[in-house]
A and B are shown apart, each in its own frame.
Chain A
């Protein structure tokens, strides 16, 4: 069992919803957005955990909580075994050296008024003990790791293409030599022809530096290529987690099944033959009782409406939060 780099236990994050003054007085309970509800997971060294979900699933919020950009309403986050949930001030700042983030949209994650060299060296400036020479060296090294040439340094973001901007963002994340990087939809805003380059780049960097990644995305194809294990989120809850191949081919949850079958493939012979689930993602303010997927689930029974299924280990290393998860387990299939 590899050492856990990051572990989250029962993370819950609620945002208070500001309603009108009278509304707040007459309501008994305050309205809250249930962004993340009781999620536990862990990421090992040199491992990529793919966090998959649609909009409203809470995956981005979970990523931010793991980075301590937001404090969880309940639950704990540990980093190499140490509880970091209550860290603040200088201790928290020092922690930042070890965990970094790459955001989705390089147009908004790079300050348009800063040159590439200032952007990449910015993390180093937060920590005064680094000398002048080392800044230059670190920047050049980071630039090399993302395959950009040195004459990029004096240019502004608007002079670069989308793929190059994202490389700058990745270089910026690497310059402090972190051990854990959260990648929040790093290729979703990029063109298709550039996407594969960036994915290959990220994998290469991971191999060289033995990093752990949390790869957040809604694109199941991308996560298939990048992740060792996949965690699927729906409406703030973690509903399935396991090895990539297991989750994608032998899924144990109806939502995962419908999600996977809704993914279009570039092959016209394999057109979508399964009926996608009816309805829309539920509101995060007033989620359905019991299992949150029950209004849309073709297998829902009474128990699904009344009690929330807990995440259970159905097969070794493969967990699912469904009362009837066993129904989906295959009999042994011989290779044909």
Chain B
């Protein structure tokens, strides 16, 4: 007999096939899946080839080709320093993938841990955890992030450390709420009646059942993290120029909005497309992970 797995993610083939079938059944989810796959694939390529795959050097300044409109040679045009926009957008992908993934991973892990304990154990433990979360939520997020980022040496990695603290409390709240509703399910009662400890129940029953909701929420947050990160970059405590990062690119070229719209708009569009892609996929994933819908597709 195999060991029970912690997270019931589809590992063996039939389950994966069912998941794919469900995802394929909705056009909207397929759009999301396409966008996200393209994004991740692109990121992977850029990282593996160390930028060799990019048509131009994203950092190469060229004073005689500034602010050129999109054309055959420069698909997305050039910015105010003559750098090719297309290469910069692609070069920014590793950063704009790394930061949200890292921040959300930390937030979700921390949120799950604290939220499930708070929801399951209740009492004073719950009060303490929720009040601490409230304190973090009470701070205007960006100010707190700025303060932390400024205290540490401004860099991309340190921005992750700055953003995580403002993101985790929402997940704690969410996890706690979901835990409360799962806790009242009879299979949790059954587990208690057979003598399992709270830690087992949280790990094996509560977390697998609340994970889909958390996942969907996290996918919706993806775009938000990029946006806040770009604010940090703009102020100067996030990604440092001349690094290619969508938010930074967008706000740095802001003054050319009317004259050369492609410079600020295209990076912003990139953020939009990725955010939408993730949220569409997340929605579809929620349906795909629900055992009831899976039953219809076996």
The reply to whether B185 and A100 contact each other, CB–CB distance below 8 Å, is: no
Q: Which residue of A lies closest to B188 (CB)?
A: A111
Nearest A residue to B187 via CB reads: A111
Q: How would residues 233 to 268 of chain A score, 1 for a CB under 8 Å from any chain B CB and 0 otherwise?
A: 000000000000000000000000000000000000
User: B193–A101 contact, CB under 8 A?
Assistant: yes
A105-139 interface bits toward B, Cβ cutoff 8 Å, 1 = contact, 0 = none: 10011111110011001110111000010011001
Among B196, B205, B209, the one with the most A-chain Cβ atoms within 10 Å of its Cβ is: B196
Q: Give the total number of A-B pairs whose CB atoms are below 8 A apart.
A: 78
Complex-state Cα separation, A108 to B291, whole angstroms: 12
Asked if B1 and A135 make an inter-chain contact with CB atoms under 8 angstroms apart, the answer reads yes
**Minimum CB distance partner of B211 in chain A:** A113
**Which A residues touch B200, using CB under 8 A?**
125-126
Which of under 10, 10 to 19, 20 to 34, or 35 or more describes the interface residues of A?
A: 35 or more
Beyond the given A96-B193, A112-B291, A159-B298, please list 5 additional residue pairs across the A-B interface where CB-CB is below 8 A: A69-B193, A112-B209, A112-B292, A113-B8, A172-B194
Chain B residue nearest to A127 (CB atoms) is: B195
A100→B193 contact, CB < 8 A: yes
Give every chain B residue within 8 A of A157 (Cβ-Cβ): 291
| Chain A window 79-112, contacts with chain B (Cβ cutoff 8 Å), 1 for yes, 0 for no | 0000000000000011011001101110011111
Is A143 engaged at the interface, CB distance under 8 Å to the other chain? no
Whether A176 is near chain B, meaning CB under 8 Å from some CB there, is yes
Residue from A69, A96, A117, A122 having most chain B Cβ neighbours under 10 A: A122
Interface size of B by CB at 8 A reads: 24
Interface residues of B (CB under 8 A from A): 1, 4, 8, 185-187, 189-197, 200, 205, 208-209, 291-292, 294-295, 298
Q: A96-B195, A122-B196 are in contact. Are A156 and B291 (CB under 8 A)?
A: yes
Query: Is A158 an interface position by the 8 A CB rule?
Result: yes
- The answer to whether A136 touches B195 (Cβ under 8 A) is no
A67 at the interface (CB under 8 A from B): yes
Q: Which partner residue on chain B sits nearest A133 by CB separation?
A: B1
- When chains A and B are docked, how far (Å) is the Cα of A136 from the Cα of B3? 12
Using A69-B193, A122-B196 as known contacts, say yes or no to A111 and B205 having CB atoms under 8 A apart: yes
Q: A111-B209, A117-B1, A159-B298 are in contact. Are A67 and B193 (CB under 8 A)?
A: yes
Distance to closest chain B CB from A288 (angstroms) = 30
With a CB–CB cut-off of 8 A, which chain A residues contact B291?
A: 112-113, 156-158
Give Cα distance in the complex from A156 to B294, angstroms.
10
| Contact (Cβ within 8 A) B187 A109 | yes
Whether B195 pairs with A126 at a CB distance below 8 angstroms is yes
The CA of A93 and the CA of B192, in the complex, are separated in Å by 9
**Would you list 27 pairs from A and B whose C-beta atoms are within 8 A, ordered by A residue?**
A93-B197, A97-B195, A100-B193, A101-B190, A101-B193, A103-B186, A108-B187, A109-B189, A111-B205, A111-B209, A112-B209, A112-B292, A113-B209, A113-B291, A121-B1, A122-B191, A122-B194, A123-B194, A123-B195, A125-B196, A126-B196, A132-B1, A139-B1, A158-B292, A158-B294, A159-B298, A172-B190
Q: How long is the Cα–Cα vector from A117 to B232 in the complex, in angstroms?
A: 51
Give the contacting residue for A109; candidates B4, B8, B186; CB below 8 A: B186
- What is the bound-complex CA distance between A172 and B186, given in angstroms? 14
| B274 CB, nearest partner CB in chain A, Å | 30
Q: Which residues of A have CB within 8 Å of B295? A: 156, 158-159
The CB with the most chain B CB atoms within 10 A, among A94, A108, A110, is that of A108
Instruction: Collect the chain B residues with CB atoms within 8 Å of residue A169's CB.
Output: 190
Q: Which residues of B contact A112 (CB under 8 A)?
A: 209, 291-292
Are A113 and B208 touching (Cβ within 8 A)?
yes
Chain A 54-93 interface residues, beta-carbon cutoff 8 Å to B = 67, 69, 93
Residues of A within 8 A of B208 (CB): 111, 113
Q: Point out the residue from B194, B197, B209 that lies within 8 Å of A100, measured CB to CB.
A: B194
C-alpha spacing A108/B292, complex, angstroms: 12
